[in-house]
Amino acid sequence: AMSATGGRSPKIYSTQESGAPYRWTLGDGSTIAGIEQAILGDADGGGIPPMLPGGIRRLVIPADLGYIAMSAANAKCAEGGKDGAVGPIPPKEGGAYERFTNLYCNPRIPYQPDLVLDIKLYGKRTAP
């Protein structure tokens, strides 16, 4: 589930409800830094161990590890991380995309609320 610490309705989107999990390749630059750091663990010895397949975590991601670059004028804020935008970004149907862009892709808002995500790490899938 994707939620924000600000706004009137904090829940933004849930891949569990849509039946389409968010997928990317670790280290390819297609997802926000806060998710990658939570999965890989804290390299500076801050006490955050790497996630193991099947692990579940609740993340509270500050703006500097989230979407702060998307609030700049002319930033790419494309659905589902398309066109080089960094994900996860909700799909346009259902109102989640509009709530997301109002909070995280709006150059008129002087700050961004923290992003709250519940994630489960599945690991690499192989063909049966």
Once rounded to an integer, what is the mean pLDDT over residues 78-94?
68
Each residue of 2-20: pLDDT tens digit? 777 766 667 777 777 777 7
Is the distance from CB of 102 to CB of 12 less than 8 angstroms?
no
Note the pLDDT of residue 79. 57
Tokens 């500097």 locate to 64
* Residue 78 clears pLDDT 80, i.e. is over it: no
Once rounded to an integer, what is the mean pLDDT over residues 20-40?
82
User: Positive or negative CA dihedral for 67, 102, 16, 24?
Assistant: negative
- DSSP H/E element including 100: helix 96-104
